[in-house]
């Protein structure tokens, strides 16, 4: 018995000492209050403790833009994992200059009230990154695991200006492009992720890429990608991209970037978007999908409601590849409802002959992506006039499945004047509104 007590005491002391020793300078850990015996504590939606019930971890802030606290950050994520909270305090900046593997998370709250800023050392980030073959994507860090909450009033700063300047004149889809740029927030193999209140600033490339993820929500977030240099605009700074995701919800969010506002990619299902505001973007697009030969891609069950699109290329859009050597799949059950456009080049687009496949070629090599049950309901506002009187362009691939396309309450005017025109090519059945083919 005595021996046992000694062994326990020794184990306790040595673990206390080793944890103590491991705490980096300037960091702190405040243990969670113990639950009172006669009171049942409320739980979050995943059945875990609320903020006030969690052990709280902090680290020192950075002193300047090169003062890398990545090691401390990783320590804090480990220390806060399994029921704790990592607080990044308001008014403080935490500089990350090393890639971070956060694929092992389980019940963690990350409360970001300050700023996480990535270094802009292009040489480093182009030699040390996490790689995803889909469009040759790289990222600063990977978030994975389950029951992950990232919330607060703070900022994820991609420090993109140096990247915009260095990338100027290059093209992401150029097969020869080797100038890879990191994605600001990436989840992989994650279940139950909630992002709330966070500002995403100047991502070098896509703002978010959600991969193999189940049930992820973004609420009250704001995305900005803005260059201070007129000769190097932000490029490919999409708001939302996804791959193999089931359950993607975006609500009450603002996106002011130079590329896609919201564009789920292959295998995204059960999408809910509500109260989304997009400025200067390439629109809210389903796809493109069906690009790669032999690969099955799909997007299904999307509800997009109360979307505002200002000063952009596209409004509500669907795109599926056609032509030689492309893939196959389907887009089905998509509803756009209550969409407001202003100064938008192409307010409504359905393109089943993507990318730039002319009618002859699209008939010869039809799309193998079946499109069905697509609704555009109550789309109103103004186009930019770039396409003259044309405010909607719906082009199906001759000989492909393209059915159940329905438009209702479309009230878009063009500054070009005259009655607005809806173009429809090779669409079978009644689409609910009057339309003309390109030939007419
Ligand atoms: C940034 O802060 C670190 C840590 O205090 C210091 O070592 C370094 O010299 C500082 N660098 C600059 C450019 O001020
Ligand atoms: C940038 O990263 C490279 C490669 O890791 C390193 O050699 C160089 O010192 C870094 N530059 C700065 C300014 O930190
Ligand atoms: C996905 O995460 C789970 C734990 O959440 C892990 O057991 C599994 O190995 C991971 N799968 C892959 C492919 O990384
Ligand atoms: C602006 O971008 C251009 C093109 O990349 C670059 O040549 C120039 O140096 C940049 N200007 C500044 C002030 O960084
Ligand atoms: C629609 O979204 C805007 C934000 O873009 C919001 O201000 C407005 O309240 C929303 N309308 C409804 C009916 O929810
Ligand atoms: C919207 O985008 C335009 C450029 O397209 C920009 O001038 C304006 O500041 C943006 N508005 C907001 C509120 O972000
Ligand atoms: C989409 O899912 C199908 C079926 O699970 C799979 O075969 C295909 O590889 C996935 N597509 C991509 C791009 O991952
Ligand atoms: C279509 O999608 C909606 C969600 O947007 C879903 O509620 C409905 O069940 C789906 N319909 C079918 C037939 O799957
Ligand atoms: C597309 O539709 C055709 C005709 O109905 C069907 O034969 C094919 O299996 C469908 N493809 C997919 C991927 O669902
Ligand atoms: C359509 O595209 C094909 C393949 O690129 C090309 O050979 C053909 O000349 C084009 N036809 C027209 C009418 O532009
Ligand atoms: C597709 O649309 C074009 C232009 O309206 C028309 O000439 C052609 O006959 C249509 N093809 C099929 C297969 O419906």
Least confident residue range of 19-28, 261-270, 299-308, 407-416: 19-28
| Strands in 113-170 per DSSP E | 115-118, 130-132, 137-139, 141-151, 155-157
105 found inside a domain: yes
Answer whether residue 18 shows pLDDT above 60. Answer: no
Residue 324 in domain: no
Stretch 224-251: mean pLDDT, rounded?
97
Task: Tell me: pLDDT of 205 over 90.
Answer: yes
Please answer whether residues 122 and 163 qualify as being in contact, where contact means their C-beta atoms are separated by less than 8 angstroms.
Answer: yes
- The predicted pLDDT at position 3 comes to 47
pLDDT at 70 over 90: yes
Q: Is 282 one of the annotated active-site residues of the chain? A: yes
Report whether pLDDT(9) > 80. Answer: no
Q: For residue 98, is pLDDT > 80? A: yes
Average pLDDT estimate for 340-361: 97
Instruction: Take atom 7 of ligand 2 and give the residue whose Cα is closest.
Output: 124
Tally of domains within the chain: 1
Backbone angles phi, psi at 236, to 5 degrees: 60, 30
Question: Of 68, 238, 260, 282, which one is the catalytic site residue?
Answer: 282
DSSP 3-state of 11 = helix
Q: Is 115 within the bounds of a domain?
A: yes
Asked, for residue 46, whether it belongs to a domain, the answer is yes
Give residues with Cβ within 8 angstroms of 265, minimum separation 6: 134, 241, 242, 243, 287, 288, 289
Identify whether 73 is part of a domain.
yes
Which residue owns the Cα nearest ligand 7 atom 3? 296
The CA 119 to ligand 2 mean position distance, Å, reads: 10
Query: Considering 68, 224, 238, 259, which one is annotated as catalytic?
Result: 259
Domain presence at residue 160: yes
The bridge status of strand 84-88 relative to strand 137-139 is unpaired
Q: Which domain holds residue 89?
A: 22-259
Instruction: For ligand 1, say whether the CB of 66 is within 6 Å of any of its atoms.
Output: yes
Q: How far is residue 238's CA from residue 258's CA, in Å, rounded to a whole number?
A: 7
Residue 218: CATH number of its domain = 2.160.20.10
Q: Identify whether 396 is part of a domain.
A: no
Split at pLDDT 50, 70, 90, the class of 6 is very low
Does the pLDDT of residue 2 top 70, yes or no? no
- Any ligand 2 atom below 6 A from CB of 132: no
Say how far apart CA 348 and CA 328 lie, in whole Å. Answer: 23
| Residue 168: Cβ within 10 Å count | 13
Dist CA 37 CA 40 (whole Å): 8
Q: Is the pTM of this model over 0.75?
A: yes
Position 102 in a domain: yes
**Best of 24, 66, 120 for a ligand 1 pocket test (most atoms within 8 Å of beta carbon):** 66
Ligand 1 neighbour 64 (Cβ under 6 A): yes
325 sits in which H/E element: none
State residue 217's pLDDT score. 99
Buried b / exposed e over 208-227, threshold 16 CB at 10 Å, is: bbbbbbbbbbbbbbbbbbbb
């Amino acid at each position: 018995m005595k021996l046992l007590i000694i062994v326990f005491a020794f184990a306790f002391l040595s673990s206390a000492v080793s944890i103590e020793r491991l705490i980096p300078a300037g960091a702190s850990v405040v243990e969670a209050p113990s639950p009172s015996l006669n009171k049942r504590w409320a739980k979050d939606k995943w059945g875990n403790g609320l903020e006030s019930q969690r052990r709280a971890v902090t680290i020192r802030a950075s002193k300047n833009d090169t003062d890398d606290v990545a090691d401390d950050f990783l320590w804090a994520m480990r220390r806060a994992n399994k029921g704790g909270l990592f607080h990044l305090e308001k008014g403080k900046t935490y500089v990350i200059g090393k890639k971070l593997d956060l694929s092992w998370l389980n019940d963690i709250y990350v409360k970001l009230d300050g700023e996480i800023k990535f270094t802009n050392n292009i040489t480093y980030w182009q030699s040390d990154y996490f790689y995803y073959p889909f469009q040759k994507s790289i990222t600063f860090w990977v978030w994975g695991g389950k029951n992950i909450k990232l919330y607060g009033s703070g900022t994820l700063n991609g420090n993109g200006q140096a990247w915009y300047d260095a990338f100027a004149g290059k093209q992401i889809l150029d097969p020869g492009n080797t100038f890879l740029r990191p994605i600001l927030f990436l989840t992989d193999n994650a279940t139950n992720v909630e992002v709330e209140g966070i500002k995403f600033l100047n991502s070098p490339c896509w703002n978010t890429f959600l991969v193999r993820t189940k049930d992820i929500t973004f609420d009250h977030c704001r995305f900005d990608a803005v260059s201070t240099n007129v000769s190097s605009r932000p490029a490919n700074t999409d708001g939302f991209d996804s791959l193999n995701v089931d359950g993607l919800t975006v609500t009450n969010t603002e996106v002011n970037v130079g590329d896609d506002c919201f564009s789920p990619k292959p295998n995204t299902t059960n999408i809910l978007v509500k109260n989304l505001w997009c400025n200067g973007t390439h629109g809210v697009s389903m796809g493109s999908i069906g690009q790669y030969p032999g690969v099955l891609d799909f997007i299904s069950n999307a509800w997009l409601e109360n979307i505002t699109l200002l000063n952009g290329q596209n409004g509500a859009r669907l795109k599926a590849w056609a032509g030689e050597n492309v893939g196959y799949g389907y887009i089905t059950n998509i509803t756009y409802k209550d969409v407001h456009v202003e100064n938008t080049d192409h307010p409504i687009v359905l393109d089943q002959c993507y990318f730039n496949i002319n009618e002859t070629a699209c008939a010869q090599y039809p799309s193998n992506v079946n499109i069905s049950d697509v609704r555009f309901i109550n789309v109103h506002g103004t186009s930019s006039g770039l396409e003259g009187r044309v405010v909607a362009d719906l082009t199906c691939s001759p000989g492909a499945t393209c059915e159940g396309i329905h438009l209702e309450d479309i009230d878009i005017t063009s500054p070009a004047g005259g009655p607005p025109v809806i173009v429809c090519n090779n669409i079978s059945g009644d689409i609910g509104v009057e339309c003309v083919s390109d030939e007419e």
